[in-house]
Amino acid sequence: MSVVGLDRIAMAQERLSGRVRHTPLIVSNNLSARCGFPIYLKLESHQPTGSFKLRGATNAVLSLNDEAKKRGLVTASTGNHGRALAHAAKAEGARAVICMSALVPANKVDAVKALGAEVRIVGRSQDDAQEEVERLVREEGLTAIPPFDHADVIAGQGTIGLEIAEARPETELVLVPLSGGGLAAGVAAAIKGRLPQARVIGISMERGAAMNESLRAGKPVQVEELETLADSLGGGIGLENRYTFAMCRDLLDDVVLLSEEEIAGGIRHAFRTEGEIVEGAGAVGIAALLAKKIDVRGPTVVLVSGRNIGEARHRQIVDTDSVAISAGARGR
């Protein structure tokens, strides 16, 4: 198995110093009272680009040699990773091309363009966008920075786990959103390396959770991508997955799936009670606690991964106690 270990994550932490935000780790009095143990929120939603993705993308870009950066950078994205790579490329003076499908909402596309990146709209799926990435690598020599299955991306995300371990060494449980596995793998590697007593649970949605289905099958499998409030958790993990499948298989203690109404409840609670605007994928840890799907045995950290939800969509959810599920802003 290809593994990203503590040494590589510690190197990423040094590399990222001063480049990304050391995000707040705050206590939730409400959730703590509900669960009977201290519950902390790790607010990656406070990163400049609105999600944890800035860590992995920046670490990957800084790990490149000058020639690779000079050729230009390219990725397939449905939102957050593309925005993060555009930010990291701009900081290094490098060209960035972000390939996205026609399903990506205009506000996400505009946010990437605002950072000076080129946007290619291709097809109607992440797979279509990835085909354009491969063409640009093959024909124009651009350097690809994948959204999750990349050692430097995983190491960058793992720095969140180091921050948690340093701030709260008494932590017994970490809840982490689970999609392609870059975040879950990196955080789990850091937490298990520094806090061997702690459990790490991946949280995903019932609709189209590719990593969960792959773990159940014992190998990477294709899963139909469905509309979900946790849109940033959509998409496949890649049948040729090199890192994240094996790391999630070996390091996660469990995976919990949520209904759409439960995810909406997490978004609502984050805003109404915690005062935080959080997208569906970022709210899944909170949602899992509210739904009583987690066995809390001690101090727990909930990773709030991002805030990039459309204003109208967010208002629709928080202003009602029921929500009709439709496509939202995606986020890889």
CA–CA separation, 238 and 188 (whole Å): 20
Task: List Cα–Cα distances, 26 to 4, 35, 39, 91, 276, in angstroms.
Answer: 28, 16, 8, 29, 12
pLDDT at 139: 98
CA 289, distance to chain mean position in Å, is: 19
What residues have CB less than 8 Å from 277, skipping those under 6 apart?
45, 270, 271, 307, 309, 314
**For residue range 2-46, what is the model confidence (pLDDT) as tens digits?**
589 999 999 999 999 999 999 999 999 999 999 999 999 999 999
Residue 69 annotated as catalytic: no
Mean pLDDT, the chain, as a whole number? 94
Half-sphere exposure of 322 (CA within 13 A, CB side): 1
CA 142, distance to chain mean position in Å, is: 24
Mean pLDDT value of segment 276-302: 98
CA–CA separation, 285 and 301 (whole Å): 9
pLDDT at 174: 99
pLDDT: which is higher, 308 or 325: 308
CA–CA separation, 298 and 32 (whole Å): 10
pLDDT at 218: 98
**Tell me, what amino acid is at 128?**
D
Instruction: Please state whether 219 falls in left (phi above 0), alpha (psi between -120 and 50) or beta.
Output: beta
pLDDT at 332: 61
DSSP symbol at 102 = T
**Which residue among the candidates 28, 42, 51, 53 is catalytic per the annotation?**
53
pLDDT: which is higher, 320 or 63: 63
Q: Whats the size of the chain, residue-wise?
A: 332
Mean pLDDT value of segment 328-332: 48
Domains and CATH numbers, the chain: 6-53+150-318 (3.40.50.1100), 55-144 (3.40.50.1100)
Residue 53 annotated as catalytic: yes
pLDDT at 102: 85
Percent of the chain scored above 70 by pLDDT? 96
Q: Is the pLDDT of residue 326 over 60?
A: no
pLDDT: which is higher, 250 or 107: 250
The 10 Å Cβ neighbour count of residue 196 is 7
Q: Is the pLDDT of residue 330 over 70?
A: no
